[in-house]
Amino acid sequence: MLHAILDAGLVAHVAVQDESGQPYVIPVGYGRRGDDVLFHGSTGSRLFRSLAAGQPTCLTVTLLDGLVLARSAFESSMNYRSVMVLGVARRLSGDDELDALRAISEHLLPGRWADIRHPSAKERAATLTLALPLDECSVKVRTGGPEDLEEDVADPVFGGVWAGHVPLTESFGAPVPCDNNTAGLTPTYIETWHRPAP
CA distance 172 to 190: 10
In the set 10, 47, 137, 139, which binds a copy of itself (CB under 8 A)?
A: 10
Q: Which of residues 80-119 bind a copy of itself (CB under 8 A)?
A: 80, 82, 84, 86, 101, 105, 108-109, 112-113, 115-119
CA pair distance 102, 175, nearest whole angstrom:
22
Residue 193 CB, nearest distance to a copy of itself (Å)? 7
Binding residue count for a copy of itself, defined by CB under 8 A: 89
Other C-beta atoms closer than 10 Å to the C-beta of 197 total 6
User: Closest approach of Cβ 35 to a copy of itself, in Å?
Assistant: 20
List 57, 107, 129, 130, residue binding a copy of itself (CB under 8 A): 57
**Residue with smaller CB distance to a copy of itself, 4 or 126:** 126
Report if residue 27 touches a copy of itself, rule: CB under 8 A. yes
| Measured distance CA(74)–CA(70) in Å, rounded | 8
Candidate list 67, 134, 137, 141; residue touching a copy of itself; CB under 8 A:
67
Which of 7-21 are b and which e, b meaning 16 or more Cβ less than 10 Å from the residue's Cβ?
A: eebeebbbbbeeeee
- By beta-carbon proximity to a copy of itself, the closer residue of 55 and 90 is 55
Residue 61: strand pairing partners: 83
Which of 34, 164, 192, 196 touches a copy of itself (CB under 8 A)?
164
157: how many CB neighbours lie within 10 A of its CB?
A: 8
Partnered with residue 83 across adjacent β-strands are: 61, 139
